[in-house]
Chains A and B, each alone.
Chain A
Amino acid sequence: MSETTPTPAGTPVIELRNVSKTFGEVRSLSGIDFAVYPGEIVGLLGDNGAGKSTLVKTVMGFHRPDPGGEIWFNGKLIDDWSVARARDLGIETVYQERALCEKQPIWRNMFMGREPRTKWGLLDVKKMRSESARLMSEHMGFTSAAVHPDNVVSTMSGGEKQGVAITRALYFDANLVILDEPTMGLSLTETGKTLDFVRNIKAVGKSAIFIDHNIFHVYPVVDRLYVLDRGKVAGVYDKTQISMEDLIDRLYRVARTGSLT
């Protein structure tokens, strides 16, 4: 990339340096440099299969980068990165596949992997139930149906399931929230709520990575944009640098020619 992109000041919350990820013969990411700074919303654009979800899962510690890649958290090189570690350090993700356990009640899904315990060290089921009920009435309201915390996730609609996944990411008061195509399959009002949610992350000074195929969703809420193409960073833009029309134009060009310029 010959274009110069102004880098935001400060230390990135999370930074990938020269990260590649290979699955057998498939190279999903190659030589990725990627950073999210405190208080900014970063958009991630790219065609299906560009490697967006793989990047997200690498940031989360679900995938381990190929040798040579580095993950930095708040200016520190981390070599024992894992999902549990990432979540402990305040990174929450709404995965594209939602990562729900559908035969389980909502309360088990809401606290999956971070179950609260009583002072005796036992599972605080009472709190899990009541907090789930509170969160659902305060934040979810995605549809008119009141949902009981004991309801099994498989009985819910797609929007409600996404509501559980988003509410879960919200609950733990993360410093960095990652949303991988959160509006997929949602109704117009549900999509509106999700975009409000992303804006709110910025309002409270937290960071986010936002992935969506719809540029009309992404452009208005983000500060910076990464364009991914076949596992490589094809461009990084500050929103002040590029208009939406220009961006759309370039994305078409990437799709056709594999080059932004």
Chain B
Amino acid sequence: MSSETTIKKPADNRVAPPSFLRRYGSQMGIIGVGLVMWLGFVAAAPTVFTNANIYLAFAQTTPQFGIIAIALTFVVITGEIDLSFPSIMALGTAAFCLVVQAGGGWPVGLVAAFATGAVCGWINGALVSYLNIPSLVITIGTSFLFRGLELVLMNGTGVPLTAEDYPAMHAIFRSTLFGIPIQTIWMVVILIGAWFLLNRTRFGAHVFLVGDNPTSARLMGIDAVSVKTRSFILVGLMATFSGLMTSIYGYYFWPTTGEGFLLNTIASVFLGGTSVFGGTGSVVGTFVASYIIGAINAGIVSAGINAFYTQLAFGLVIVVSVVLQTLIDRKIRRQSMTGR
């Protein structure tokens, strides 16, 4: 390790615990960025951004990708990525529709949907962790596989999901509770669950360790294969949840469900401060970042700017946040820019 010579420094730097800024700096940064952006929108289009309706729409649609982003955070912390979740959204929801069409009833449909999502996640995880295939490549492959399977099963046609036919599903995924859209309530509940999973369970501890240094983790007896596989299964489950929520929101299951979700979901994870290099990340960061991404989207659309700009904006968010992370990471580890 050549780094050992560069990290020598006076010992008194380390007598104190790491500063608040060091520990929560990136999270504060995200919240700061979010606030500044929001103020910018308010200044640019005051009539739009002081209208409560826009926040309502925003609280209904942001969780559609935010919930997946929270699960994807686990996979990214383990040092992997999953690009197949838009297809899992569709395949999981297709399983629901097919079971209901076959007379299974909505509860059985839900079980089938989540089982499908879990199996998709397991396939991704097993291919990545057992066979050591780069996740970036294999999940592009499974993305087409899952999408293709869904299109074949649905024969390319959609399914209406009206409130009359599916009252329970609408109550679960599209109602309002205490005046708050239930989608956002779900997202908060999932955030709390995910926070405990990541920060207060052995599985969560192992997610960080495996992502930081898989060999070290394995030398200390951690089952890296199982940790990665379970993270991918989590994404499969949450993608299914989101697929159902998104379809119910639109009263219709489109065979193209999930298209347009890739960019904003991944942008939320990286903007939220989760490292592309694995080993560090935060579900709270992802949560906040999802709403910022949702606000950018709503802002661009409501301000009447051409929607092409959303792609530009999300692309920019991904590139800038990943570059900033890299720079901050190097600075914290006191490494030279070119070393390593």
Contact = CB atoms under 8 A, between A and B. Distances in A.
Interface of A: 57, 60, 62, 82-84, 86-87, 93, 95, 97-104, 108, 112-115, 117, 121-123, 125, 143-148, 150-152, 154-158, 185
- Size bin of chain B's contact surface: 35 or more
16 contacts: A86-B221, A95-B219, A97-B215, A100-B216, A101-B208, A101-B216, A101-B279, A104-B279, A113-B221, A117-B202, A143-B11, A145-B12, A151-B18, A154-B3, A154-B333, A157-B8
B43 interface: no
Nearest to B17: A148
Interface string B293-309: 00000000000000000
A contacts with B: majority SS: loop
Contact of B209 (A57, A95, A112): A112
Residue picked from A99, A108, A154, most chain B C-beta under 10 Å: A154
Nearest to B10: A145
B333 A151 contact: no
Interface centre among A87, A101, A115 (most CB of B within 10 A): A101
B200 A122 contact: yes
Interface in B171-222: 196, 199-202, 204-206, 208-209, 212-213, 215-222
Given A101-B209, A115-B202, A148 B221 contact: no
B280 A144 contact: no
B209 A155 contact: no
B332 interface: yes
Contacts of B202: 115, 117, 123
Contacts of A112: 209, 216-217, 220, 222
B147 to A, nearest CB: 35
A123 B200 contact: yes
B223 interface: yes
A108 B200 contact: no
Contacts of A150: 17-18, 23
B213 A102 contact: yes
A46 to B, nearest CB: 21
A118 to B, nearest CB: 9
B164 interface: no
A82 B226 CA distance: 14
Closest 4 CB pairs of A and B: A145-B11, A83-B221, A101-B212, A113-B220
A213 to B, nearest CB: 18
